[in-house]
Amino acid sequence: GAVVSQHPSWVICKSGTSVKIECRSLDFQATTMFWYRQFPKQSLMLMATSNEGSKATYEQGVEKDKFLINHASLTLSTLTVTSAHPEDSSFYICSARRAPLRTGELFFGEGSRLTVL
Amino acid sequence: ILNVEQSPQSLHVQEGDSTNFTCSFPSSNFYALHWYRWETAKSPEALFVMTLNGDEKKKGRISATLNTKEGYSYLYIKGSQPEDSATYLCALGDDKIIFGKGTRLHILP
């Protein structure tokens, strides 16, 4: 099956610093990647949809200046949490869909647990 | 706002028993419905992607049905095994994929 690699798996940072999370599709091209955030005992909340070579589409209530998403190639998308604060502590997970199927299944990364002190 | 509802939130099933749970969604503007299994300490894995009303899909002991006119899908597990313990997620969409809160399934030995 297709493999998506996400790292780091765990990151602890100080308040005010920025953190970058990478999501790579290792053996397929992903025109679309999705970034989700999971709050405790909640579902996966879609943050943004990232299309290769274009600006990400953010969901309502997600600050695009705080959560910078870049999808520079067909195999890599990054999420940067800028000026992180304790309320940004969460589980972030990416997923990728094979090009060009809009009905294609999602392949998920391992997720990243962010703790902001 | 697309609302995907899953029920029950949690379920305990005796090993060997069969079970099923539900995903409900708005019937208008349907495109595709996904089912994923998410085991602890692993990544979610796709079970099915369904697009047609009346569609039924099967993978081993797990099967799913889809009713787009009334806006629901059922996931069935036959003869539950300990390895079936996981959270089962339903998701909807095309350009963006929206998830329900999941059904957490516990198989009791």
B51: distance to nearest CA of chain A, Å? 8
Provide residues of B within 8 Å CB-CB of chain A: 1, 31-32, 34, 36, 43-46, 49, 51, 89, 91, 94-102
A43-68: average pLDDT: 92
Which pLDDT belongs to residue A53?
81
- B49 in Cβ contact with B33 (< 8 Å): yes
CB contact under 8 A, A106 and B36: yes
A43 CB neighbours in chain B (<8 A) are: 89, 99-102
B94 CB neighbours in chain A (<8 A) are: 102-103
- B73 in Cβ contact with B7 (< 8 Å): no
Which pLDDT belongs to residue A87?
95
Distance of CA A13 to the CA centre of its chain: 18
Which of the residues in chain B have pLDDT under 70? Answer: 1
Which pLDDT belongs to residue B23?
97
A98 or A101, greater pLDDT? A98
Residue A99 has pLDDT above 70, yes or no: no
Residue A98 has pLDDT above 90, yes or no: no
Kindly give the pairing relationship between strand A112-116 and strand B97-99: unpaired
Which of A24, A43, A54, A62 to probe by mutation at the B interface, max B CB count within 10 Å?
A: A43
Which pLDDT belongs to residue B1?
64
CB atoms within 10 A of CB B16: 12
Kindly give the pairing relationship between strand A67-73 and strand A76-81: antiparallel
> What does the alpha-carbon distance between residue A48 and residue A65 come to, in Å, rounded to a whole number?
12
Residue of B nearest to A104 (CA): B49
- A56 in Cβ contact with A78 (< 8 Å): no
Which of A46, A101, A110, A113 to probe by mutation at the B interface, max B CB count within 10 Å?
A: A46
- pLDDT band with cut points at 50, 70 and 90 for residue A62: very high
Q: Is the bond leading into B26 cis (omega within 30 degrees of zero)?
A: no
> What does the alpha-carbon distance between residue A75 and residue B62 come to, in Å, rounded to a whole number?
32
Q: Is the bond leading into B8 cis (omega within 30 degrees of zero)?
A: yes
Instruction: Dig out the tokens for B95 from the structure.
Output: 């350009």
B59 CB neighbours in chain A (<8 A) are: none
CB contact under 8 A, A49 and B89: no
> Any CB–CB contact under 8 A between A35 and chain B?
no
Instruction: Give the three-class secondary structure for B37.
Output: strand
Residue of B nearest to A37 (CA): B99
How many residues belong to chain B? Answer: 109
Which pLDDT belongs to residue A92?
97
Which pLDDT belongs to residue A2?
78
> Any CB–CB contact under 8 A between A67 and chain B?
no
B44 CB neighbours in chain A (<8 A) are: 93, 95, 106, 108
User: How confident is the model over A73-91, as pLDDT tens digits?
Assistant: 889 999 999 999 999 999 9
Q: Is the bond leading into A8 cis (omega within 30 degrees of zero)?
A: yes
Cα distances (angstroms) measured from residue B5 to each of A6, A90, B14, B103: 28, 23, 25, 10
- pLDDT band with cut points at 50, 70 and 90 for residue A48: very high
User: How confident is the model over A28-44, as pLDDT tens digits?
Assistant: 888 889 999 998 878 89
Residue A115 has pLDDT above 90, yes or no: yes
Rounded to the nearest integer, the mean pLDDT of chain A is: 92
Which pLDDT belongs to residue B15?
97
> What does the alpha-carbon distance between residue B76 and residue B66 come to, in Å, rounded to a whole number?
12
Which pLDDT belongs to residue A1?
67
Instruction: Give the three-class secondary structure for A100.
Output: coil
Which pLDDT belongs to residue B2?
75
